[in-house]
């Protein structure tokens, strides 16, 4: 989707036509900075005020609990990650989770096939060296999904696309978003091809999106 | 104009973004050891000291950078060494426009180095290099300060939290927004993955509603 930016442009000298502008019809214009004044609900017996105060109070409580929970989950993920890579090392079939137990029940730390994207391959080179391209690749997105292009024709297609836009003086309209991400089978092959130490080092620059799950993992009933 | 080639400076990281811990009154105990700092109401700025280039929290050039000439000059003049290497990148709060206090002043609360020093070590070095801002006094304009962290073993964060609110009332502006808790055992989280990525070693506690 194209971004909309307001720019102050100079009128062209040899352009007698008035500025051609798009009409946005009935679409609401966003106010710049004013805080909108809304009609206030009548509250003759104070009932709404009590509910409103309760919502605000409980939202604040939830924020505090969410903050504390985020810290605890992060701590658990940090402690579980070295164990995950060590126990999975050399295995073809790897459990997607590890378990942490307590008298209150069990939680799972799940390591799905999801990774953060990198802006550049530079931080991977000291860890993987020449193997970098075995495990990571460049990904990009235009208006089209770059992952779905035929690899053998990709460069040719992109060159033609740029030429096409340039021919119509629209090269500026073409924006690319690129990144480095793991190859599709990285999640499984990493445990066979790389050591736990290498995996931990990669995890520092390209963290696996680990999740802590508690649903259905409570204390077992007697 | 100089014929030398001017290198384009790109941010070395996105500034660390704290998670939201809600109000301090309701916050639960955090595991580990944490320092507390006042949260100033300004603009987040990642500063490359040698060139005086300032980036916002999204890694874009800070549009108000031109106002900070004096503070940037001071920052450039101080040579801070981390493991023998000069520190080039500083994580700062730039005071401007949001209130009338300390206009065009930079508050340096961290620096970025490749040697991975822990927060505790970084803060020690910073307060040696720059005068620390006394939170009970409004900062002077066009100055450069470091931020002294408060150790909860010595100062009660709840008392400080309340005191900052009173200072806001006395100064008649939202100068402080709350506190930021920072785990003392973490290196600076250098990352260029996303400006939205939050760092769990920093927790902001803003005033309750």
Domain boundaries, chain A: 47-115+207-213
The pLDDT of residue B193: 87
User: Are the CB atoms for B153 and B15 separated by under 8 Å?
Assistant: no
DSSP B178: E
- Mean pLDDT, chain B, rounded, equals 91
- Stretch A4-20: mean pLDDT: 44
- Stretch B5-22: mean pLDDT: 88
The pLDDT of residue A10: 40
Least confident span in A140-144, A148-152, A164-168, B63-67: A140-144
Q: Say whether domain B17-206 belongs to CATH 3.30.420.10.
A: no
User: Are the CB atoms for B60 and A95 separated by under 8 Å?
Assistant: no
Q: Partners of B204 in the beta sheet?
A: B20, B180
State the SS3 of chain A.
Answer: CCCCCCCCCCCCCCCCCCCCCCCCCCCCCCCCCCCCCCCCCCCCCCHHHHHHHHHHHHHHHHHHHHHHHHHHHHHHHHHHHHHHHHHHCCCCCCCCEEEEEECCEEEEEECCCCECCECCCHHHHHHHHHHHHHHEEEEEECCCEHHHCCHHHHHHHHHHHHHHHHHCCCHHHCCCEEEEEECCCHHHHHHHHCCHHHHHHHHHHCCECCEEECCCCECCCC
The pLDDT of residue A213: 83
Q: Does A67 touch chain B (CB under 8 A)?
A: yes
Q: ipTM greater than 0.85, yes or no?
A: no
CA angle A211, A214, A220 (to 5 degrees): 145
Least confident span in A15-19, A173-177, B111-115: A15-19
- Stretch A139-151: mean pLDDT: 76
The pLDDT of residue A151: 82
- Stretch A182-202: mean pLDDT: 93
- Which residues of chain B make contact with A120, given a CB cutoff of 8 A? 192
Whether A12 has a pLDDT exceeding 80, the answer reads: no
Tell me which residue has tokens 């137990």. Answer: A101
The pLDDT of residue A5: 36
From A115, which residue of chain B is nearest by alpha-carbon distance? B193
b/e map A107-140, b = 16+ CB within 10 Å: bbbbbeeebbebbebebbeebbeeebeebbbebe
Whether A13 has a pLDDT exceeding 60, the answer reads: no
User: Are the CB atoms for B43 and B81 separated by under 8 Å?
Assistant: no
CA angle B204, B208, B209 (to 5 degrees): 125
User: Are the CB atoms for B176 and B139 separated by under 8 Å?
Assistant: no
The pLDDT of residue A177: 81
Q: Does B114 touch chain A (CB under 8 A)?
A: no
- Stretch B37-59: mean pLDDT: 95
- Stretch B18-46: mean pLDDT: 94
Q: What percent of chain A has pLDDT over 90?
A: 51
- Stretch A39-64: mean pLDDT: 93
The pLDDT of residue B28: 92
The pLDDT of residue A176: 78
Collapsing DSSP to helix, strand or coil, B136 comes out as coil
The pLDDT of residue A173: 76
pLDDT band at A220 (very low <50, low <70, confident <90, very high): low
B22, B32, B192 member nearest A63 (Cβ): B22
- Stretch A82-98: mean pLDDT: 95
Whether B167 has a pLDDT exceeding 60, the answer reads: yes
The pLDDT of residue A131: 93
The pLDDT of residue A15: 47
Q: Does B192 touch chain A (CB under 8 A)?
A: yes
Q: What percent of chain A has pLDDT over 70?
A: 79
Least confident span in A155-159, B34-38, B68-72, B106-110: A155-159
pLDDT band at A174 (very low <50, low <70, confident <90, very high): confident
Give CA separation, B96 vs A169, B43, B70, B80, in Å.
41, 7, 14, 25
Whether B97 has a pLDDT exceeding 50, the answer reads: yes
* Higher-confidence position of B151 and A177: B151
The pLDDT of residue A30: 56
- Stretch B171-192: mean pLDDT: 94
User: Are the CB atoms for B104 and B95 separated by under 8 Å?
Assistant: yes
Query: How much is the pTM?
Result: 0.77
- Stretch A3-12: mean pLDDT: 36
User: Are the CB atoms for A122 and A107 separated by under 8 Å?
Assistant: no
- Alpha helix locations (H) across B43-184? 69-77, 119-129, 157-171
Whether B109 has a pLDDT exceeding 50, the answer reads: yes
Collapsing DSSP to helix, strand or coil, B171 comes out as helix
Whether B209 has a pLDDT exceeding 60, the answer reads: no
The pLDDT of residue A27: 59
Q: Does A118 touch chain B (CB under 8 A)?
A: yes
Name the residue among A117, A121, A170 with its Cα closest to residue A146.
Answer: A117
- Which residues of chain B make contact with A63, given a CB cutoff of 8 A? 20-23, 26
Pairing of strands B105-112, B144-146: parallel
CA distance A175 to A163: 14
* Higher-confidence position of A129 and A213: A129
User: Are the CB atoms for A60 and B208 separated by under 8 Å?
Assistant: yes
CA distance B155 to B151: 6
CA distance A5 to A76: 43
Q: Does B83 touch chain A (CB under 8 A)?
A: no
DSSP B68: G
The pLDDT of residue A144: 67
Q: Does A152 touch chain B (CB under 8 A)?
A: no
Q: How many CA atoms lie within 13 A of A187 on its CB side?
A: 15
Whether B196 has a pLDDT exceeding 50, the answer reads: yes
CA–centroid distance for A2 within its chain: 20
pLDDT band at B142 (very low <50, low <70, confident <90, very high): very high
Whether B95 has a pLDDT exceeding 90, the answer reads: yes
The pLDDT of residue A148: 80
Residue A64 to residue B203, Cβ atoms within 8 A: no
């Amino acid at each position: 989707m194209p971004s909309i930016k307001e720019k102050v442009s100079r009128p062209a000298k040899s352009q007698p036509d008035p500025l051609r502008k798009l009409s946005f019809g009935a679409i609401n214009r966003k106010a710049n900075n004013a805080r909108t004044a809304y009609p206030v609900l009548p509250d003759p017996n104070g009932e709404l005020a009590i509910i409103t105060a309760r919502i605000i109070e409980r939202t604040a409580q939830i924020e505090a609990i969410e903050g504390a929970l985020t810290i605890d989950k992060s701590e658990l993920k940090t402690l579980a990650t070295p164990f995950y890579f060590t126990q999975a090392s050399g295995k073809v079939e790897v459990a997607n989770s590890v378990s942490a137990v307590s008298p209150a029940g069990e939680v799972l730390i799940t390591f799905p096939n999801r990774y953060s994207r990198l802006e550049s391959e530079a931080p991977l080179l000291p860890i993987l060296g020449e193997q970098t391209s075995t495990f990571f690749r460049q990904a990009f997105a235009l208006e089209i999904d770059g992952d779905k292009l035929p690899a053998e024709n990709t460069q040719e297609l992109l060159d033609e696309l740029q030429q096409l836009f340039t021919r119509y003086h629209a090269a500026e309209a073409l924006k690319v978003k690129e990144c480095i991400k793991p190859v599709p089978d990285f999640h499984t092959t990493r445990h066979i091809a790389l050591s736990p130490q290498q995996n931990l080092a990669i995890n520092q620059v390209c963290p696996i999106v680990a999740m802590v799950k508690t649903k259905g993992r409570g204390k077992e009933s007697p | 104009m100089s014929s030398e080639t001017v290198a384009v400076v790109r941010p070395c990281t996105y500034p660390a973004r704290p998670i939201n811990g809600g109000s301090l009154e309701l916050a639960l105990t955090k595991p580990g050891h944490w320092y507390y700092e006042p949260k100033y109401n300004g603009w987040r700025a990642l500063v490359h000291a040698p060139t005086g280039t300032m980036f916002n929290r999204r890694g874009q050039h800070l549009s108000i950078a031109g106002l900070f000439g004096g503070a940037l000059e001071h920052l450039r003049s101080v040579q801070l060494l981390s493991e023998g290497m000069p520190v080039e990148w500083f994580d700062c709060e730039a005071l401007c426009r949001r209130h009338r206090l300390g206009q065009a002043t930079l508050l340096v609360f961290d620096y970025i180095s490749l040697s991975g020093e822990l927060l505790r070590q970084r803060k020690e070095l910073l307060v040696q290099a720059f005068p620390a801002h006394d939170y009970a006094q409004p900062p002077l304009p066009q100055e450069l300060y470091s931020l002294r962290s408060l150790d909860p073993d010595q100062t009660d964060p709840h008392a400080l939290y309340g005191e900052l609110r009173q200072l806001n009332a006395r100064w008649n502006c939202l100068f402080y927004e709350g506190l930021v808790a920072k785990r003392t055992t973490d290196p600076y989280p250098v990352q260029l993955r996303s400006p939205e990525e939050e760092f769990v070693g920093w927790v902001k506690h803003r005033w309750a509603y």
